[in-house]
C-alpha cells in the first residue's frame, strides 16, 4: 500500500507595498496640524468676545451719546467726558475709591505675605488645616460678610464700639465720617481677601527650591535674612500678579460699601464712601436718562485701573531689585 505524500505548505503571500497617502489625506493632516490649535482655544475667545469685548465696545459707543435706557440717543462726542472733569461728585468718588483702596490693600498685602510665609514653614503642624481655614472667608457670601460687619460697626450696639469703650474711647459713628467709613470697609475687604492672596503667594513660595534655603542656613543666614534675600526676590512674579489682581478688585469695590451703607447708592448722607462703581451704577442704571454718562464713568474707571496698576507694577519691580 502506497504512503500518501504530505501536502506542501502554501507559499507565503508577497509583502504588500506600503500605501502612500493620497493628496487629500495629506492635505487634511496639514490642515489639522495648522488649524486644530485655534479650534481648541476658540471657545475662550468666543465667550470673551460675547461677554467681554462686545460690552466694552458697546459701553465706549454709549459714552459718546446722550443715551437713555428707553433707547433714544443722540451723538454728542466727548461731552460726557468733559462733564466728568467738572463733576464734583465724580471726583469725590475718585477720592473715596483711591482712599479705600490704599487703606485696604496695603495691610492686606502685608498680612497675606506674612500668612503665606508662616504657612510655608516645614515644621508647622496641621498646615493643611490652616490652609483650608484661611480660605474660608473668601467662600463666604459677600452679602453675609457685609451685613455682619455692618452690625459689628454699629454706633450704639456694635461690638467694635463696645471694645473701644473699654479703653475710654467714645463711640464712633462709623458711617458718618470719611475716615471711619473707609476703615470699616477696609476691615471688611481685608477679612475676605487676605487668605485668598495668601494662598496665591504660598503657591509661589513652594515653587522656590529648598536647596537655596539650606545653603543659606549653612552660611549662617537667619530666617529674616532668607526671606529678604531669597523668598521675596524669587516671589516677584507671583507678588506682581497679586498686586495687579488686588488693584483691579480694590478699585471696582461695590458690594461692601453698598451694604455697609444699608443699600444707599450715594454712599452715606454726604457721599462719604461712595466709590466709582457705585456712582457709575447711580448714573447709568438708577437714572434712566443718563446711561451715556454712566458709560463714560465706566471708561474713566477702566483708565484709572490701568494707571494705578501700572504704577503699582513699577513700584513693586523697583522695590525688589
What does the pLDDT look like over 113-151, one tens digit per residue?
999 888 887 666 777 788 788 888 888 888 788 788 888
Residues 6+ apart with CB under 8 A from 68: 288, 289, 290, 291, 292
3-state helix, strand, coil in the chain (%, to 5): 70, 0, 30
Cβ-contact 92, 272 below 8 angstroms: no
Write the CB contacts of 308 (distance below 8 Å, at least 6 apart in sequence). 98, 101, 247, 251
Question: 10-residue block means of pLDDT along the chain (321 residues)?
Answer: 53 55 66 78 87 88 84 84 92 94 92 88 72 84 82 85 87 86 91 91 88 82 82 87 90 89 84 91 82 90 90 76 59
pTM: 0.80
**DSSP label at residue 4:** P
Strand partners, 73: 67
Domains of the chain by start residue, with CATH? 88-144+177-319 (1.10.3720.10)
Dist CA 274 CA 277 (whole Å)? 8
pLDDT at 314: 82
Return the pLDDT at 1: 45
Amino acid at each position: 500500500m502506497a504512503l500518501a505524500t504530505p501536502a506542501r505548505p502554501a507559499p507565503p503571500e508577497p509583502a504588500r507595498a506600503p500605501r502612500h497617502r493620497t493628496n487629500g489625506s495629506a492635505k487634511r493632516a496639514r490642515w489639522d496640524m495648522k488649524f486644530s490649535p485655534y479650534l481648541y482655544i476658540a471657545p475662550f475667545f468666543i465667550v470673551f468676545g460675547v461677554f467681554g469685548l462686545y460690552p466694552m465696545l458697546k459701553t465706549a459707543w454709549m459714552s459718546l451719546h446722550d443715551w437713555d435706557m428707553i433707547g433714544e440717543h443722540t451723538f454728542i462726542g466727548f461731552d460726557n467726558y468733559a462733564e466728568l472733569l467738572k463733576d464734583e461728585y465724580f471726583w469725590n468718588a475718585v477720592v473715596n475709591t483711591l482712599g479705600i483702596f490704599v487703606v485696604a490693600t496695603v495691610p492686606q498685602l502685608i498680612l497675606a505675605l506674612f500668612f503665606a510665609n508662616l504657612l510655608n514653614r516645614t515644621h508647622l503642624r496641621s498646615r493643611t488645616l490652616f490652609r483650608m481655614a484661611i480660605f474660608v472667608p473668601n467662600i463666604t457670601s459677600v452679602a453675609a460678610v457685609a451685613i455682619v460687619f455692618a452690625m459689628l460697626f454699629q454706633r450704639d450696639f456694635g461690638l467694635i464700639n463696645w471694645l473701644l469703650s473699654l479703653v475710654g474711647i467714645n463711640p464712633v459713628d462709623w458711617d458718618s465720617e470719611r475716615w471711619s467709613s473707609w476703615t470699616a470697609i477696609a476691615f471688611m475687604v481685608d477679612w475676605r481677601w487676605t487668605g485668598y492672596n495668601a494662598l496665591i503667594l504660598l503657591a509661589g513660595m513652594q515653587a522656590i527650591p529648598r536647596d537655596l534655603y539650606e545653603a543659606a542656613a549653612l552660611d549662617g543666614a537667619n530666617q529674616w535674612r532668607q526671606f529678604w534675600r531669597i523668598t521675596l526676590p524669587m516671589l516677584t512674579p507671583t507678588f506682581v500678579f497679586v498686586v495687579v489682581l488686588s488693584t483691579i478688585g480694590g478699585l471696582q469695590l461695590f458690594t461692601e460699601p453698598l451694604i455697609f451703607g444699608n443699600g444707599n447708592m450715594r454712599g452715606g448722607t454726604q457721599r462719604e464712601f461712595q466709590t466709582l462703581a457705585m456712582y457709575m451704577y447711580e448714573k447709568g442704571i438708577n437714572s434712566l436718562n443718563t446711561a451715556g454718562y454712566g458709560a463714560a464713568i465706566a471708561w474713566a474707571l477702566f483708565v484709572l485701573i490701568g494707571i494705578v496698576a501700572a504704577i503699582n507694577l513699577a513700584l513693586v519691580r523697583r522695590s525688589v531689585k
